[in-house]
Structure 1
Amino acid sequence: MAGAVRGAGRRRRAVQPMSAGLQPSGRDPILIWGAGAIGGTVGAYLVRAGVPVVFVDRDLDHVAAINAKGLHIEGPIEEFTVRAPAYGPDDVPGVFRRTLLCVKAQHTEEAARSLAKHLAEDGYVASFQNGLNELVIADVVGRERTLGAFVNFGADYMAPGVVQFAGRGAVVLGELDGAITPRLQDLHALMLLFEPNAITTSNIMGYLWGKLGYGALLFATALTNASICEGLGAREPRALLRALAGEAVEVATMLKVDCLGFNGYDPAAFAPGASDAAADASFDAMVAHNAKSAKTHSGIWRDLAVRKRRTEADAQLGPIVTFGQQVGVRTPVTSNLIAMIHEIEDGTRPLAWENLDELGRRVWRAA
C-alpha cells in the first residue's frame, strides 16, 4: 500500500484556476457507480443540467424506484426529480469513458472490479468517496486511469429513489501526480454544474489526508447520539479529539503529505505543538460550517443508529493506523476508536456520550 503513495508528498500549489467559461466536453454519458448520498446528489444535478448519466447501485429497490419514478432530491437547498436509467451491478450495458465511483469505502475494490469491464481504455475512474480509495482503484484499473476527488457536502440516502441534499461543502478534484490535465479540466467543468465553488488542485492527497483527520473527528462524535455540532462544540472531550486528529496529521507529515484544510477544519491546528487558541478556532469554525446544514448527524452515526450496518471505520480510518506503523507513528486514539465503533456495530456497546470518556480512559491507560 505504501508504494501506491508515490508522488503524494510533493508540495505543490493547492489550487489551480480554471479558464473562464470552460464547458464539459462530449455527450457520452457519465457512469455513476453508487447512486446514494454522494452519487445520487451529484448525478441528479448533472442530469438536470442536460448531461447524460447512467446510475448503478447494488440496492435493487433503489434502482427500481429510480427507473419507475425518477431520482428525487429533497432538502433545504432545492427539491427536484430527474429521470435517468439505473441498473444493478450485474446488468450494466456499455463502455464508459468517465466513471464516478461513489460507493462506501469498504466496497471500493469489489465495485472497481465490477466496473472495470465497462471502462474505456482511455477512460478514468474518479473516487467520490471518503478515504484513500484512489489507491485501491489504481491497483484495480491502473494509476493512469484513476483520478482523485474530495467532497464534503452533506447528503443522505433517505429511501428508495430519494436522497436528501442537506448542505453545501468543498468539492476538489486532482490528478494523483498533481498534473492539470484536459480530463481534469473537463471533470471540473462538469462539477461546476453541481457546486459553483468546485476547484482543482495539484495536491489532492493533501485534501484526502485532511479529510481523514476531519473524518476521525466525525467517527468520534458518532460514538454518541450528539449532533456533529454538539460533539465538535463540547469542551470536555477536546483534548482527546485534538489527539485523534493529530494522529492523522502526524502520519501524513511523516509521509511528506502537506495536509490541506476545508470548511473550518485546519490540519495545522491539530499538529503536535499547535496552540489551544488555534485548535479552538478550528473547532468553532467547523461547528459554524456544520450549523448551516440540515444534516445534523454524520453518515457514520446514521449507519450505526438508523441503518444498522457496518461503517467505513476500517477502510477510512484503518490507513491512518497502517501507514502510522510504517512510518513509526503511534495511533492509539484511532486504533481504540475503530475498536469501539466495531463494538457498536456488533451490538455490544450502545451509543452514548460516556463512550468518549471510555475512549479517553483506554488511550490514557495505555500511554
Structure 2
Amino acid sequence: MKTPNKPSPSILIWGAGAIGGCLGAAFVAEGYDVTFVDQAHDHVQAMQKEGLRIEGPIVTRRVAVRAFSPDELSGQYDLVFLAVKAHHTEEACLQIRPFLKDDGAVVSAQNGLNELVISKLLGHERTIGCFVNFGADYLSPGLIHYGGRAAVVTGELDGRTTERIHLVHNLLLKFDDKAILTNNIWGYLWSKQIYGAMLYATALTDEAIWTCLENPEYRDVFIALAREIAEIANHEGVRLEAFDGFDPDAYAQCADITAAHASLDALVAHNKRSAKTHSGIWRDLAIRHRKTEVDAQLGVIVKIAKQHHISAPLTSKLISLIHECEGGMQRDWNNLATLRSAIQEG
C-alpha cells in the first residue's frame, strides 16, 4: 500500500499476456513501479516501442512500460505477479528465484492449483494465493483485450491476515474495486477448478461458453463433471466458495438438480454480459494452435483423486478429449456426447 511512510512495492509482472497485461497496466496507471517480463520477443518489443494497449468495453488505455525478456532482466522485486500458463509454472519459478527479494513473494495470478508448485519450489512463506476470473485475451504483440469483469480474490495460503496480503489486496482494488480479500483462498481456487473443467468441456465445441452451458441436451454432462470435482474437493477438506454465478452447493452429490440448473443459468447470464465469448482454452486450440493447460490443471485433480482412492472418470475422459483436439480432432457437439459416456463408465 502506498503511504507517506512506506515506499511502494517494486512489482514484477511475469507473463504479460491476458491476465498479467491487464493487471500490470492497471498498476502502472495508478503510478506503481512495475516491470514486465514475457517470453515472446515480439510482444516485448512492441511494449518497449509503443507501450502496452488494453482495449475493450471495460477500459481502454495505453501505458508506457518497462518490458524485458527473461535474459534481459536485472534487479530484485518485492512482489512478482506470476501470470504464465499453468504448465510453465515450474520453469518460471526457477527463472524468478534470483529476481525475488529475500522477503518478497509470488502472487499466483493464474488458473489452476499452481500455488502448490510455487510453494514447493520457492517456499510456502513466499507464495500468495490469487483467484482471477475476468475475461481477457492476448490479441497481438502489445495488445490485450479486456472483455469482462469478474471475481478477483487474494488470500494467504494458510488463511492468515497479514500486512502483505492487505498490500496485495489494495493493489488488486486498483484493478477492480470489487476485489476480495479472503481467508479461504483454496475454496476459491478449487471452485475455479470446477468451473474451469466446464470451460474445457465447452472448448470441445466451437460454440460460445454460454451457448454450451445453456444447451439443455448437454447440461447433464456439465453437472456430472462439476459434481465429480466437487466430491474430490470435499475429500481434500476444502470449503468451496461461490463466485460469478457459480454456486458450489448446487453441485454437491446430495443437491437437488434444480439448484444445479439455477447455477448454470447464472453462469450463462454472467457469460452473456462479457465481450469474451470463448475461453482461453478454446483460443489455444482454435486460434493459437498450441498445447493447452489441461494436464497442469485437470491432471492435478485426477492425481489428487487417486490419492483419496476415488475415481475421476469424467475428468480423465475430458483430458483425453482435449488432447485429441490438440492433435486436430474436430470440435463439435459430438465430443460432449462422447464425454457423457464417462458418466456411465464411472
TM-score by length of 2: 0.98
User: Which of 339, 356, 366 is equivalent to 2:336?
Assistant: 356
How far apart are 1:268 and its partner, in Å?
1.3
User: Which of 35, 46, 54 is equivalent to 1:54?
Assistant: 35
How far apart are 1:87 and its partner, in Å?
0.6
Question: Which 10-residue stretch deviates more, 231-240 or 160-169?
Answer: 231-240
For residue 358 of structure 1, what is the amino acid of its counterpart?
Answer: T
The alignment partner of 1:147 has SS state of strand
1:310 aligns with 2:291: yes
- The answer (yes or no) to whether the contact 1:336–1:363 under 8 Å persists in 2 is no
1:200 aligns with 2:200: no
User: Which of 291, 296, 315 is equivalent to 2:277?
Assistant: 296
Question: Which 10-residue stretch deviates more, 24-33 or 248-257?
Answer: 24-33
1:250 aligns with 2:231: yes
Q: How does 1:1-367 map to 2 (within 5 A)?
A: 23=2, 26-347=7-328, 349-364=329-344, 366-367=345-346
CA–CA separation in structure 1 for the residues paired with 2:228 and 2:333: 22
- The answer (yes or no) to whether the contact 1:73–1:163 under 8 Å persists in 2 is yes
How far apart are 1:178 and its partner, in Å?
0.4
Identity %: 51
CA–CA separation in structure 1 for the residues paired with 2:62 and 2:298: 35
For residue 191 of structure 1, what is the amino acid of its counterpart?
Answer: L
How far apart are 1:328 and its partner, in Å?
2.2
How far apart are 1:77 and its partner, in Å?
1.3
For residue 273 of structure 1, what is the amino acid of its counterpart?
Answer: C
CA RMSD of aligned residues (A): 1.1
Bigger RCO of structures 1 and 2 (CA < 8 A, at least 6 apart):
1
CA–CA separation in structure 2 for the residues paired with 1:266 and 1:92: 42
Segments of 4+ in structure 1 off by > 3 A? 22-25
CA–CA separation in structure 2 for the residues paired with 1:146 and 1:221: 31
CA–CA separation in structure 2 for the residues paired with 1:146 and 1:61: 30
How far apart are 1:90 and its partner, in Å?
1.4
Which deviations, in whole Å up to 9, do the C-alpha atoms of 1:100-152 show, x marking residues without a partner?
00000000000011001100000000100000000100111101100000000
CA–CA separation in structure 1 for the residues paired with 2:2 and 2:218: 47
The equivalent residue for 1:11 is none
How far apart are 1:247 and its partner, in Å?
1.3
TM-score by length of 1: 0.92
For residue 236 of structure 1, what is the amino acid of its counterpart?
Answer: E
The alignment partner of 1:193 has SS state of helix
CA–CA separation in structure 2 for the residues paired with 1:136 and 1:58: 20
- The answer (yes or no) to whether the contact 1:250–1:329 under 8 Å persists in 2 is no
